[in-house]
Amino acid sequence: MSNVGRKSSSSSVHKVVDRDAAVHGKTFQWNLVVRVVRMYEATTQRSPSEVYQVELVLQDESGDRIHFTIPKTHLSMYKSVFREFSMYRINNVVVQANVKVPRTTSHNHKLSAYRKPTVESLPSCNFLLNPFHFVSYGDVEGLVTGGNSYLIDCIGHVVGKEDPKDMTTKSGHKTTCMNLYIEDLE
């Protein structure tokens, strides 16, 4: 993220969660100013009614996005604090490699609330929120053939669909899958 990270003990601006930087989880004094683009509960496959963590996608003022996880141990403290499209200052987060599959962002790192971060709600007028990250049809094809996988937004016409198919995941969870075919609007 470009302008998101600022060391709280310093008056100068640092790129601390930069895509290309060697970010590590040993320093926790990040001062992040972000908006929540997406927020959802992750459940276990064995017990779909049990929430084991809350996942968020955060966006900085330049539009860069990063994934943020609130683990089960801190749900009672933070679940009611965050709201989609609201703006926050967050301190004391852990930076980790983004190896989650599927990835919610293309960022190489993700943030976690394992160290009880401080969260301050801010007025939403500081920077604009673009809740969608649209990509062209050509970029979608590039993601598929390039082996990159992360969530995107697209607009198109549904031009076909397959019948729903029952599936079983590796852990034995029963689910249903349906393939949709979309056509680019251009």
For each of the domains in the chain, give its residue range(s) and CATH number, in order of start.
5-122 (2.40.50.140), 137-184 (no CATH)
Question: Where are the extended beta strands (E) located within the chain?
Answer: 5-7, 30-43, 51-59, 65-71, 87-91, 94-97, 109-112, 118-122, 156-161, 165-168, 174-177, 180-184
For the cut 50, the answer to whether the pLDDT of residue 13 exceeds it is: no
pLDDT average, residue stretch 121-130 = 76
Band (pLDDT 50/70/90 cuts) for residue 182 is: confident
Distance of alpha carbon 80 from its chain centroid, rounded? 18
- Using an 8 Å Cβ cutoff, are 54 and 69 in contact? yes
Q: Is the pLDDT of residue 150 over 90?
A: no
For the cut 50, the answer to whether the pLDDT of residue 67 exceeds it is: yes
What pLDDT is recorded for position 162?
Answer: 93
Position 149 scores a pLDDT of 65
Collect all residues with Cβ–Cβ distance below 8 Å to 47 and sequence separation of at least 6.
Answer: none
pLDDT, averaged across the chain: 75
* Rounded Cα gap, residues 127 and 124, in angstroms: 7
pLDDT confidence of residue 8: 36
Give the C-alpha separation, 61 to 63, whole Å: 6
Q: What is the pTM of this model?
A: 0.68
Q: In this structure, what token pair is assigned to residue 106?
A: 């293309």
* Number of C-beta neighbours around residue 184 at 10 A: 12
Token couple for 33: 């100013």
Residue 4 pLDDT greater than 60, yes or no: no
Residues in the chain: 186
